[in-house]
Structure 1
Amino acid sequence: MTDDARVKRRQPESLDDIQRAEHHPEYRIDLERVRFSPYFSRLSAVTQVISQAGASPLIHNRLTHSLKVTAVARAIAVTVDDTLVGTTPALSPELSPGGCDAVVVQAAASAHDLGHPPFGHLGENVLNRIARDTLGLRDGFEGNAQTYRILTVLDVCDGASAGLNLTAAVRTAVSKYPWTPQLEGMSFDPDRDHDPADLPRGLKRVGDAVVARKYSAYFLEQDDLLDARASAPALAPWEQSLECAVMDIADDIAYSIHDVDDFYRAGILSQVAVSREFRGWLENSAQLRRLDAPELEVEGVRNHAGEGIEALRRKIHRDDPWVADDDAFADAVAVVSEDLVEGLLSTVFDGSIAAERRLSTFTSRWIAHFERSIVAAPPDTPRTAAITLDRRAWHEVKVLKFVHKHFILNRPDIAMYQRGLSQVLVSLVSAFSDWLEDDYDRKRVPRRLIEMVDLATTGYERLAAERPYLLDDTDASALHRLGRGRGVVDYVASLSDGQAIAVAEALNGRTDRLWDIGQSL
């Protein structure tokens, strides 16, 4: 497959003058279209994990996270293209026809979180439940699929009738989970695939069926995704492109380091509690490994120090035996304990220059270490792409992410705050759905919402003609209901945190923030 397939755009477009300029290659155009997008700007007002309003303006939002993922991804891409491409069969020209283009990687990294709705992952979970259970959308809501829908349908650029008209290479690189919930064209052996390790990340087995927990396209964008991936036909249906793998690893690295950065700044990581957990496992790992405790096999409250880390060790063995290694895990726990728990967290962040220097040194050291830890992945391992972090670094990322999940997301105060935010989204979807059905006031529905409903309805009409088996009902009224549901979800998901709160308050009768919501509508 030639590089011409990778630079192919979904729609014809006149770019002759731009192409003749040597400093404006096709992929650079894609990168600029993503970064000039209002959806990209919006990320500055969308929560990463904890809200800036409730902590500090220095806390990461989705935009600063995306910028840092892009920087890490570029550094990895340059290294991979210089040292790994062409030196291993897993990175052959057939699987990676364009090598590892750093600009493709930057475009994908910049775009990867465009689909995140208000309030971070909480918003994603709430909108998915509403989409499936209330609105009847079989493919629900998923942040990665919403990103793909923005890039190909909802966003706009000059010269294209819909979407940003990105190249096949960039659209493929954005697709971390390159399937729809239907898993069309993918087959799994029911006698072999009972173990999660036999399935790609994002898929799980429920009874005798394989279902998509994560996916990169809704039914409406399936054809576009297939068209993009045709640029690398040697890839297996579930396999990430090389550039996508770089973006995915960079995202993991940024999460593992920058979330710790945020919680340290905000003063909500208790050194005593974290130290107790790490010391408990390091001092009693042998006993914990022998513990026959079913509660350790699932998420939940732990009774004794070290049980959370032991549960993580067991989960790694269940899900990823291709890389699981008890010695590497123990080394990762020890080094994170020494450098983070007994090192960085032993001194309270007080906002001083000295504290900033300590944090900067910690962050820079770990990111540089991870960037140097990229290796070719073992062959025929569906749980990872063509490249991965080496065994040591892979376990270190897991342990660092454990700190965030175990000591922050499970806090009762954060859980209470999130439950309140979830009601904002429920209220918004209900109010807009009712407004669209109000015969007396429907003419005053925000124009952008009407346009999104029309786009979605047209998409479902096309789907009914081409793939009716993906729909439960294909009559006109059913397609209109689906279009209305998808359009409302698209609209609500496009709001920032502040806009979502302000609009919900306005729809519920509060008028003191009337002029805050004008640009939302």
Structure 2
Amino acid sequence: MAHNDDLDLAGPASGTGLAGPPVAHDPDADAASRFEQERCVEEPPKDTRTLPVDGERTQFQRDRARVLHSAAFRRLAAKTQVHTAGSDDFLRTRLTHSLEVAQIGREMGAQLGCDPDVVDTAGLAHDLGHPPFGHNGEAALDEMARACGGFEGNAQTLRVLTRLEAKAVAPDGSSAGLNLTRASLDACCKYPWPRADGMRKFGVYADDMPVFHWLRTGVPDPGRRCLEAQVMDWADDVAYSVHDVEDGIHGGYIALRNLRDDNVERAALCADVAGSYSAESPSDLVAVLDELLSDPVLAPLYQYDGSHRALVALKQVTSVLTGRFVAAAVGATRSAAGPGPLRRYAADLVVPRFTRAECALLKGLALRYVMRRPGARPWYEQQREILTGLVHALTLRAPHGLDPVFAPLWQAAPDDAARLRVIIDQVASLTDPAAISWHRRLVGG
């Protein structure tokens, strides 16, 4: 696959945005703006007497603040990204990863004409639903939650934002979660569809469909993502791929010089990537990997020793790769959609095929040499045992043992499936250390 291959479109562009500043007042645009800023539960006006005259925040700035100040966001500080949270002060957690996604997405969205606070909010919020122990914990809870529709981190994020976080209350007394605007919630929907056969990823549980239908009102095509969600998703891929490799190199798990000199290992890596992250064939990926490893930008990493000079070089590589991936997507999107502000459903993000392959290969480095490193399996098995044991113990003890937030929800649940969902919500909310502590207290060992 050559560097200048055809572009890989996330979907057909449906518009080119505005060609320039409006020449007249557009009442339809005002109505669209009000629609996007609506909240599911109407709220009284804010008291702004303590603010300067020009200090009133926009609705989207309020959304960003609500996520930033939420309990679910704080808990990300002790949730695993790739490395176990707390195992090394250098390494990323879900919190630092989310901050990086928000920063990358905000700048990329601003270049395209998206509202920067909407993209920022989506970046900050995108992992709020992830359980303890990263994707390993996600798989364990999905198995335990079969009777209530399964578990998926992105569907759980929507549940946290619209139901579980404490900020707003609906007229019937139920929680409205953070009660974000329609546009911000839509931007958080990385997979805007319910679970279906043969589909591993989904973004909404069956009992959250009412609020999902509300936030998706007016979407031109079912299953289509708004541009802000696509920007957040690509920012997530960029941050995940580049920064996890940075952590892996610093931690001594990834040695690029060994990979460069071993044809068999390069082929094995590309097979892993083709099986997990990319639709490209392993042979095509080998060609991309060879070009990536021969890039002079990576040369300083072949002798990485953890010194200050080496850390500077590592950070420079991280910056260059991040900038390349962002610029490639912005440039390709502009080429397809034209000039002017692009937002919501005016266009789709376009990422060049070669760039997607490079990003997938970097993700594969973390998969093969960090997540699947020798000796990791026993700890992963222990993580699954911890979460499985917690679900079993709470099923027997509930509502006793549940947090005060979840105990009333369990008592009000109409059937066993709904009660199981509350228990899954409780376990998913825990940090890594809290899950270990709860297991020790409730199960023993």
8 Å contact kept, 1:336–1:399? no
- Letter matched to residue 365 of structure 1: V
Q: Secondary structure at the residue paired with 2:294?
A: helix
| Cα separation, 2, equivalents of 1:315 and 1:427 | 31
Question: Equivalent residues in 2 for 1:17-416 (5 A)?
Answer: 17=47, 23-54=56-87, 56-81=88-113, 100-132=114-146, 136-137=147-148, 139-158=149-168, 161-182=175-196, 210-230=197-217, 232-234=218-220, 236-271=221-256, 273-277=258-262, 280=263, 304-311=264-271, 319=279, 329=285, 332-339=288-295, 343-350=299-306, 352-374=307-329, 375-376=332-333, 386-416=348-378
Q: Choose which of 404, 412, 419 in structure 2 pairs with 1:447.
A: 404
| Cα separation, 2, equivalents of 1:333 and 1:345 | 15
8 Å contact kept, 2:386–2:435? yes
8 Å contact kept, 1:145–1:216? yes
Q: Does residue 508 in structure 1 map to residue 443 in structure 2?
A: yes
The Cα shift of 1:445 comes to 5.1
| Cα separation, 2, equivalents of 1:369 and 1:491 | 40
Match of residue 421 from structure 1: 383
The Cα shift of 1:348 comes to 3.2
Match of residue 7 from structure 1: 37
| Cα separation, 1, equivalents of 2:323 and 2:297 | 20
TM-score, normalised to structure 2, is 0.82
Match of residue 491 from structure 1: 426
The Cα shift of 1:452 comes to 3.7
8 Å contact kept, 1:274–1:403? no
Q: Secondary structure at the residue paired with 1:224?
A: helix
Match of residue 19 from structure 2: none
8 Å contact kept, 1:104–1:173? yes
| Cα separation, 2, equivalents of 1:112 and 1:248 | 9
Change over 3 Å in CA distance of 1:2–1:443 after alignment to 2: closer
- Letter matched to residue 121 of structure 2: A
Cα deviation, 1:157-195, whole Å, max 9, x if unaligned, reads 15654201100001100111101115xxxxxxxxxxxxx
Cα deviation, 1:99-136, whole Å, max 9, x if unaligned, reads x211100001100000000001100000000111xxx1
The Cα shift of 1:410 comes to 2.1
Change over 3 Å in CA distance of 1:61–1:340 after alignment to 2: farther
The Cα shift of 1:314 comes to 5.9
| Cα separation, 1, equivalents of 2:258 and 2:167 | 50
8 Å contact kept, 2:192–2:202? yes
Q: Which consecutive segments of 4 or more residues in structure 1 shift more than 6 A?
A: 324-327
Q: Secondary structure at the residue paired with 1:73?
A: helix
The Cα shift of 1:66 comes to 0.2
Q: Secondary structure at the residue paired with 1:423?
A: helix
- Letter matched to residue 242 of structure 2: I
The Cα shift of 1:308 comes to 2.1
8 Å contact kept, 2:410–2:419? yes
TM-score, normalised to structure 1, is 0.70
8 Å contact kept, 1:145–1:217? yes
| Cα separation, 1, equivalents of 2:86 and 2:238 | 25
Deviates more, 1:113-122 or 1:400-409: 400-409
Q: Secondary structure at the residue paired with 1:169?
A: helix
8 Å contact kept, 1:274–1:407? no
Percent identity between matched residues is 31
Change over 3 Å in CA distance of 1:12–1:79 after alignment to 2: same
